[in-house]
Each structure stands twice: as C-alpha cells, then as structure tokens.
Amino acid sequence: MDASGAQEYDRMQDLKDFDKTEAGVKGLVDSGLQKIPKIFVRPAEELAEDLKHKRAQIEVPVIDLGGLEKADRHKQIVEEVRTASETWGFFQVVNHGISLNVLDEMLDGIQKFNEQGVEEKKKYYTRDKIKRVRFHCNFDLFKSRTASWRDTLQISFSDPDQNDSDELPALCRKSTVEYSKHVRELGNILFGLLSEALGLKPEQLGNMDCSEGQFLSCHYYPACPEPELTLGTAKHSDPGFLTILLQNQINGLQIFFQNQWIDVQPIRGALLINIGDLLQLVSNGKFRSIKHRVVANRLGPRISVACFFSGPINMDKVFYGPIEELISEENPPIYKEVMLSDFMMKFSSAGLDENFLVNYFKV
C-alpha cells in the first residue's frame, strides 16, 4: 500500500505470473478477456508522442527479380536494390523463385502450431537461448518497458550439427524445413545483388559470412481488444545483416521513414526485405537500417515469419567493420570494428525498443 492506501502496482510480479502460464497472448485471448493487462499498456507519454507523427500512404519499393540472369535486366535490378537500400532500407521482392504453395504452407504451419492445445505448445516454451526451438511471448519480456501483443516460435538453422528436423514441432515441421531451404537460397542471391549494389564483387558479402546465422522468428499476433493501447512489436531496427519477411494479408507492419510511419501493404506472394544494423555498419552507412514496428489490430491472427541472417555462430573470433573498399580519404570510416559477439550481446541485454545498435559503435 502507498500513503493513500492504494495498492502499489508490482509490474515484475505480473510479468512473472503471465510468463508462468506459458500460454502467451493467445492464452489471454482464449480466456475471453475484454481489456488488455497492464503489462501490455504503453505509457501515456508514448501514446501522446505517437499522435504527433503523420501517417503517410507511400508505397515501399517493389522489385521484380524476374529475368535476373539476363545482363541488362540484372544491371537494372542491382540499381533498384541500391536505390531502395540507400533510401528506404526496405523493399519487397516478387518473382523471387519461392512458390506460393511453399509460402502458404509455411504460414499455415505456424497458424496450426499456435492454435493447437496449450499443453502441446508448452513443451516448447522456454527462455533458454541455447535451445534450437523456442516458443515464448516477448524474448525481452523482463527488459522492455511494455510487453508486445504477440507470441513467437523461434527456430535456428545456423548450426549444421543441428539439422535434425525431429526437434521441430510436428504441425509445422515439414513446411518449415522446406521454406528454410528456399529462403537460404534467396538470401544468397540477395547478398550477391547487395554486394554489386555497393560496387563490390558479387561474392564479397557471402565471403564475409553475412549469409550465415540463419534463424526464423515466427510471430503470431492474435486479434487485440484494445489495439490503440499496445503494439504487436515495439519500434526497433534488426541487429543482423539482412531480414527476409513473409507475412499474411493482415496489415500491421510500419516503417519510420522521413519522420512519419508508413504502412507496408502486404502483397500476396511477395517477400519483404530489410537491411539490418550490421549491413549498415559494414557498408559504412551507405545502406540504411530503418526502425520499424508492428501495430496491434482488432483483426487476427496476423502471422509473419522473419528469416534473419546474423553472421557466423562462432561469434567470439569474428570482427566486422566498414569494408575496406568502401573507405577513402573522402569517405572515412564512421563506425568502429566490432566483435560480433559484443554486438549481439548489446542487443540481447536491453529491451527491443531501446536498441539501435549502430549508434553505439560510431567512431
């Protein structure tokens, strides 16, 4: 009790009680609640700040990868990738070589996993970062200022010694293994295009192991009874090199561009690509890692699958800094060389909404 006799709010206890259920946000929705718990409600000053920013209906660039093998078309695609990466840090790709069937089955598998009985999902509920398969609600639940309205299934495809698909949940096992193979191939193609867009040899970023460290974050955003009070994912930038995002047709993703929030309209069959903090660092700021978020929605579920490429898993001996070929007297390094493990530790030591890693490593 405080001096007035009112009960003090114990946020940490509420977080622990919620986490102990191991049922996530979906469990809250299934209980029939009409008001969201206090741990999900954003501070009043944050909600007020949001009202100051304009909302714009500008379309994120869409790049058609069709005809990539033809010299003229290839050159045009590289130029489109360069412009989008320098200006937006985001672009959608179509004709990327992954069939609609593979995409739909991936989304369907994640929906089935989340909508099965809670006892089955609890088998995977953990905050142990060593585990290859982790189901949880908010990886930063105990560090963030506000909990976000989503549940997540994370699956690592980084370690070749962890290629046993039996570890994966049965309902999404086949579709996830299939999708991960296709998205890895697409990642390699994109790193080639990004290398060329930087004026480097196509294999440069691949030779730097930028396409390693592949893992999937599969998000499930249930319908929210009070979406104006919370977020599906807090404002952040991605720490790795590159993210490939698959999403269903329910809106929610926004990027912060020219001091305004831009709604990213999902295109059926398209994949959304965004530059990560590490790619901004090694490109010496030429490519941009842009802050983005997911708003909560009265409609649901919104489902997305983010494939992150975060560099080699043996992080302790790996350093990244601005690429030598991009540095000159006129263009000196604006970032320090950093050890990958330090970079990622910085990310995991704070709430998602407090991170914009490249700021910490400026010269």
Q: Which domain holds residue 203?
A: 11-361
Residue 307 lies in a domain: yes
Residue 83 lies in a domain: yes
Residue 185 lies in a domain: yes
Concatenated DSSP letters for 271-288? Answer: EEEEE-HHHHHHTTTSS-
Q: What DSSP state is assigned to residue 102?
A: H
Residue 5 lies in a domain: no
Contact between 140 and 352 under an 8 Å Cβ cutoff? The reply is: yes
What SS3 state is found at 294?
Answer: strand
pLDDT digits 0-9 by tens, 217-238: 999 999 999 999 999 999 999 9
Concatenated DSSP letters for 70-93? Answer: SHHHHHHHHHHHHHHHHHTSEEEE
Give me the pLDDT at residue 355, please.
Answer: 55
Give me the pLDDT at residue 2, please.
Answer: 42
Q: Is the pLDDT of residue 202 over 70?
A: yes
The set of residues, in sequence order, having a beta carbon less than 8 Å from that of 87 and lying 6+ positions away, is: 288
Give the helix/strand (H/E) hosting 343: helix 340-348
Residue 349 lies in a domain: yes
pLDDT digits 0-9 by tens, 289-339: 999 999 999 998 999 999 999 998 776 789 999 999 999 999 999 999 988
Which token pair is 342?
Answer: 């330090």
Task: Identify the CA nearest to 148 among candidates 308, 272, 28, 45.
Answer: 28
Strand order in the sheet with 292-295: 54-56, 260-263, 253-257, 292-295, 231-236
Question: How many separate domains does the chain show?
Answer: 1
The whole-chain average pLDDT of the chain stands at 92
The set of residues, in sequence order, having a beta carbon less than 8 Å from that of 86 and lying 6+ positions away, is: 286, 287, 288
Residue 105 lies in a domain: yes
User: Higher confidence at residue 2 or residue 273?
Assistant: 273
Q: Is the pLDDT of residue 34 over 50?
A: yes
Q: How many CB atoms lie within 10 A of CB 298?
A: 10
Quote the percentage of the chain above a pLDDT of 70. 92
- Residue entry with tokens 């089935």: 112
Concatenated DSSP letters for 180-204? Answer: HHHHHHHHHHHHHHHHHHTTS-TTH
What SS3 state is found at 302?
Answer: strand
Angle between helix 71-87 and helix 173-197 axes, rounded to 10 deg: 90
Q: Is the pLDDT of residue 3 over 50?
A: no
Model confidence at 6, pLDDT cuts 50, 70, 90, reads very low
Q: What DSSP state is assigned to residue 144?
A: S
Give me the pLDDT at residue 76, please.
Answer: 98
Residue 300 lies in a domain: yes
Q: Is the pLDDT of residue 4 over 60?
A: no
Residue 182 lies in a domain: yes
Q: Which residues of 149-185 are buried (b: 16+ CB within 10 A; e: fewer)?
A: bbbbbbbbbbeeeeeeeeebbebbbebbebbbebbee
Instruction: State the burial class of residue 143 (Cβ atoms within 10 Å of its Cβ: 0-12, 13-18, 19+).
Output: middle
Average pLDDT over residues 187-209: 98
Q: Is the pLDDT of residue 54 over 90?
A: no
What SS3 state is found at 210?
Answer: coil
pLDDT digits 0-9 by tens, 241-276: 999 999 999 999 999 998 899 999 999 999 999 999
The set of residues, in sequence order, having a beta carbon less than 8 Å from that of 150 and lying 6+ positions away, is: 25, 137, 138, 219, 220, 221, 232, 233, 294
For the entire predicted model, the pTM comes to 0.94
Instruction: State the burial class of residue 289 (Cβ atoms within 10 Å of its Cβ: 0-12, 13-18, 19+).
Output: buried
Model confidence at 161, pLDDT cuts 50, 70, 90, reads low
CATH number at residue 287: 2.60.120.330
As a 3-state breakdown, the chain gives helix, strand, coil percent values, each rounded to 5, of: 40, 20, 40
Task: Round to whole Å and give the CA distance between 289 and 88.
Answer: 8
Task: Round to whole Å and give the CA distance between 104 and 172.
Answer: 12
Give me the pLDDT at residue 218, please.
Answer: 98
User: Higher confidence at residue 165 or residue 78?
Assistant: 78
Alpha helices for 203-275 (secondary structure H): 204-207
